[in-house]
Amino acid sequence: MEKDKVDKKEHILDVAEKVFADLGYDGASTRTISGEAGVNMAMLNYYFGSKEGLFLAVFERKINSFRTLLQNISSDGSMNAWNKLDKCIDNYVERIIANNCFQKLINREVSMNKRGDLTDKIIEILMVNVYEVKRIMEEGVNNGLFHADADIPLVIATLFGTKNYIVNMPQLSSLILGHDIRDEKFMENELKPRVKTYMKRLLKAYLVKEHDNSK
């Protein structure tokens, strides 16, 4: 019985993610979501309470899975800070450079800046993962592997900003990169490896002391 409840809840979240991505928060309704999920409104309200509660649950499910991964990387005593960051970049690029509905959803809602409390809650959820990456960088500074004066906030902005530019501006990015980034095969076989290599070389050259090219 408990497994059935979990499965039903996950099914509702799957459907809600797609509907929110297609229609946006304002355009989607709990009635539409319940209808497509094949459940009644009472069940949807029982699990999530409201449209806002459902919307935040969609975000939290995705972000929490990545958070657990980041925390496991951060706490792994067998790796130094750079190796941890290298692994974070691999996993981050795999997850966020994709033509999936969650990326459409997050790009649409975070960029709108008009929902007040709801936007604040979304940003709060996202920032937990940002703090995990920041913690790894601070570890590198504290143990002397990274430059003491490394501008960690700007490194984070570079990491996330590169993704935002590519994903949020597909037409311009396609022209700059010389290929349609909405081509799934290109994205998997060429773009993801390209972004990983670029980010690792860029961040390692800036962060790691042995790669100081400023002198």
For the chain, the average pLDDT equals 86
- Residue 192 sits at φ, ψ, to 5 deg, of -60, -50
Render pLDDT for 37-81 as a digit per residue (tens, 0 to 9). 999 999 999 999 999 999 989 888 888 878 888 999 999 999 999
Whether residue 85 has pLDDT greater than 70: yes
Res. 115 pLDDT band, cuts 50 70 90: low
Between 91 and 121, the more confident residue is 91
Residue 124, pLDDT score: 84
Better-predicted residue by pLDDT, 106 or 32: 32
Give the percent of the chain with pLDDT over 70: 87
pLDDT score recorded for residue 97: 74
Q: Hey, which residues does 208 pair with through a beta bridge?
A: 146
pLDDT at 5 over 80: no
105: Cβ–Cβ under 8 A, 6 or more apart, which residues? 17, 20, 21, 58
pLDDT digits (tens, 9 = 90+) for 171-199: 999 999 999 988 889 988 999 999 999 99
Instruction: Tell me what the mean pLDDT of segment 202-211 comes to.
Output: 91
Q: What is the 3-state secondary structure (H, E, C) of 87-141?
A: HHHHHHHHHHCCCCHHHHHHHHHHCCCCCCHHHHHHHHHHHHHHHHHHHHHHHHH
**Nearest-CA neighbor of 156 among 127, 184, 177?**
127
> How far is the C-alpha of 36 from the C-alpha of 87, rounded, in Å?
38
